[in-house]
């Protein structure tokens, strides 16, 4: 029997990992989601740095953030994973897709068979987190650094039912090009720098820290809808 699905964490950058809402750290949400998994042993966290070329400094940021959530069993899954790396990923409770070049990372996931593993872990109740390029990879389509034209768009995990754009407010030029390139019915969510969102299993989108923008291109014009974070009660 599969575990209940967890929210997706879509983050524009790593700053939200260390943010506090009122007197509570943001990553308390992560701790609450993984508490139920403690019965099967220590929480295991996996970091996939393929999009940034496996830069060790970014893994250090990840481990520091996980410490805030009380998670100390962390492993970096490199672009060319070993059998031990694959085994860790297949049993990880928390999986973070790092920022960088979305296409570079996505090619690595496909070449190494990790695309299917990521989907399977999500269905089995792991928490998937994406930062910048990683957030884009959790959506329906992403684009390479060369630009978001129709020829540059490529399908990604599709766990979030929209295209994700990050830290290009207020114009969202690349995200708008990508939404138009994706064709009729496409929907884009823009996440500003320092912001993020939780996409719950019932498809409710919860903005974190800063407002999001929802973009749709309909009948030759743009419809932009701001999405505001819940109010913090003090």
In which domain, by residue range, is 91 found? 8-227
d(CA 100, CA 33): 27
Query: What is residue 153's predicted lDDT score, i.e. its pLDDT?
Result: 92
Banded model confidence at residue 1, pLDDT cuts 50, 70, 90 = low
Note the pTM of the prediction, 2 decimals. Answer: 0.94
Whether the CB-CB separation of 160 and 8 falls below 8 Å is answered with yes
Instruction: Classify residue 1: in a domain, yes or no.
Output: no
| Mean pLDDT across 29-52 | 84
- Give the residue among 169, 215, 173 at the shortest CA–CA distance from 193: 169
Tell me how many domains the chain contains: 1
Q: Is the pLDDT of residue 149 over 70?
A: no
Instruction: Classify residue 233: in a domain, yes or no.
Output: no
d(CA 194, CA 107): 27
Instruction: Classify residue 76: in a domain, yes or no.
Output: yes
Beta-carbon count within 10 A of 11 CB:
27
Strand, helix or coil for residue 34:
helix
Banded model confidence at residue 234, pLDDT cuts 50, 70, 90 = very low
Q: Report residue 113 as tokens.
A: 């068979």
> Given phi > 0 = left and psi -120 to 50 = alpha, else beta, which region is 70?
left
Instruction: Classify residue 136: in a domain, yes or no.
Output: yes
Instruction: Classify residue 99: in a domain, yes or no.
Output: yes
Instruction: Classify residue 163: in a domain, yes or no.
Output: yes
Whether the CB-CB separation of 156 and 141 falls below 8 Å is answered with yes
Q: Is the pLDDT of residue 232 over 60?
A: no
Instruction: Classify residue 234: in a domain, yes or no.
Output: no
Instruction: Classify residue 2: in a domain, yes or no.
Output: no
From the CA atom positions of the chain, what is the Rg in Å? Answer: 17
CATH code at position 185: 3.40.50.880
Whether the CB-CB separation of 114 and 48 falls below 8 Å is answered with yes
Exposed e or buried b for every residue in 173-205, given b needs 16+ CB within 10 A? ebbbbbbbbbeeebbbbbbbeebbbbbeeeeeb
């Amino acid at each position: 029997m599969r575990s209940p699905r967890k929210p997706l964490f879509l983050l524009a950058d790593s700053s939200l990992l260390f943010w506090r809402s009122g007197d509570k750290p943001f990553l308390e949400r992560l701790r609450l989601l993984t508490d139920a998994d403690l019965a099967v042993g220590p929480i295991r966290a996996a970091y996939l740095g393929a999009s940034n070329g496996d830069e060790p400094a970014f893994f250090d940021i990840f481990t520091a953030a996980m410490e805030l959530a009380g998670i100390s069993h962390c492993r970096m899954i490199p672009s060319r994973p070993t059998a031990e790396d694959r085994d860790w990923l297949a049993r990880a409770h928390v999986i973070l897709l790092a920022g960088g070049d979305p296409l570079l990372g996505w090619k690595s996931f496909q070449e190494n068979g990790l695309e299917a593993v990521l989907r399977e872990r999500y269905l089995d109740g792991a928490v998937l987190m994406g930062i910048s390029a990683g957030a884009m990879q959790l959506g329906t389509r992403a684009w390479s650094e060369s630009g978001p034209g129709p020829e540059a768009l490529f399908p990604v995990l599709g766990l979030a039912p929209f295209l994700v754009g990050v830290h290009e407010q207020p114009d969202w030029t690349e995200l708008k090009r990508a939404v138009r390139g994706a064709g009729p019915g496409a929907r884009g969510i823009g996440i500003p720098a320092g912001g993020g969102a939780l996409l719950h299993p019932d498809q409710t989108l919860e903005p974190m820290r800063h407002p999001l923008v929802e973009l749709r291109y309909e009948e030759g014009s743009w419809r932009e809808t701001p999405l505001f974070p819940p109010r913090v009660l003090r």
